[in-house]
Amino acid sequence: MQFSLAEAPDEATAEKGRKLFAGQSEFLKGVVAMSGLPEADRVEVCFAGRSNVGKSSLINALTGTKGLARASNTPGRTQEINYFTQGPDLYLVDLPGYGYANAPLAVVEKWQKLLKRYLSGRQTLRRAFVLIDSRHGIKKVDDEIMALLDSAAVTFQCVMTKADKVKAKDLDKVMEQVRSALSKHPAAYPEIVMTSSEKGEGIATLRSIISGID
Ligand SMILES: Nc1nc2c(ncn2[C@@H]2O[C@H](COP(=O)(O)OP(=O)(O)OP(=O)(O)O)[C@@H](O)[C@H]2O)c(=O)[nH]1
């Protein structure tokens, strides 16, 4: 599999993305058990990543709603599966951050159990976006989540975050590592999205990618 960076969308595709995200975004609920999931009545995409990777910031940037997903400096604060509605036809799902070194083992095990159940049991889940910090590349815990997605047969797309924090030459090195790590995962989608929630880079691209998922 060849992995390439997603290019900026053409005008028609960009418009589709803009339209989707011009719709209202609202926090629906935080879920701690499968029994709490909302009715599976629309397409959903989820966002996974290590604690502090920038998930909340990315969801806020995508939806254009500051403070929608709580952007927090405290790692590991997003401990529930958080459901957001995006317009009438889409759920954006913020998964618990993983790999938080100081989390008690019992908490980690509970997340993992819920995550596994969610990923393998949610019929309407169309794609997972796995967020990777552009400074750090793919770590062991990311690789484990990707393996979980492989076994659950959930297509996942890699989204690089905090691109503004990395120099171009360092980014090349990280991308090489990312491509090589992704090549071991059959569920990996061939395009990688480079983003900066801070600068807005890649946000229009990701919006149009999501608008093309049905
Ligand atoms: N420079 C820069 N900083 C960012 C960017 N995205 C997020 N951050 C910062 O990174 C930190 C973590 O961001 P969050 O969005 O809270 O991360 P999270 O993944 O939701 O964190 P958890 O709730 O711990 O899972 C915050 O201090 C953000 O301001 C970005 O694109 N550029």
Residue-level pLDDT at 101: 67
Residue-level pLDDT at 182: 98
**In a mutational test of the pocket of ligand 1, which residue from 56, 57, 70 has the highest number of ligand atoms less than 8 Å from its CB?**
57
What confidence tens digit (pLDDT) does each residue in 6-47 have? Answer: 999 999 999 999 999 999 999 999 888 999 999 999 999 999
Q: Whose CA is nearest to atom 32 of ligand 1?
A: 162
ipTM score here?
A: 0.97
Q: 10 Å Cβ neighbour count for 49?
A: 25
Q: What is the DSSP string of 145-166?
A: HHHHHHHTT--EEEEEE-GGGS
Structural domains in the chain, sorted by start: 4-211 (3.40.50.300)
Residue-level pLDDT at 77: 47
Using CB distances shorter than 6 Å, the residues near ligand 1 are 49, 51-57, 71-73, 75-78, 97, 161-162, 164-165, 196-198
* 12 CA from centroid of ligand 1 (Å): 30
Q: How far apart are CA 210 and CA 214, in angstroms?
A: 9
Q: Is the pLDDT of residue 74 over 60?
A: no
Nearest atom of ligand 1 to the alpha carbon of 71: 16
Q: Which residues of 124-155 are buried (b: 16+ CB within 10 A; e: fewer)?
A: ebbbbbbbbbbeebbeeebeebbebbbebebe
Nearest atom of ligand 1 to the alpha carbon of 74: 24
Give the chain's mean pLDDT. Answer: 91
Is residue 21 helix, strand or coil? Answer: helix
Residue-level pLDDT at 210: 98
> What order of strands is seen across the sheet that includes strand 90-94?
4-5, 191-194, 156-161, 125-133, 43-49, 90-94, 81-86, 25-31
Q: What is the pTM of this model?
A: 0.94
Q: Is the pLDDT of residue 118 over 80?
A: yes
Nearest atom of ligand 1 to the alpha carbon of 195: 31
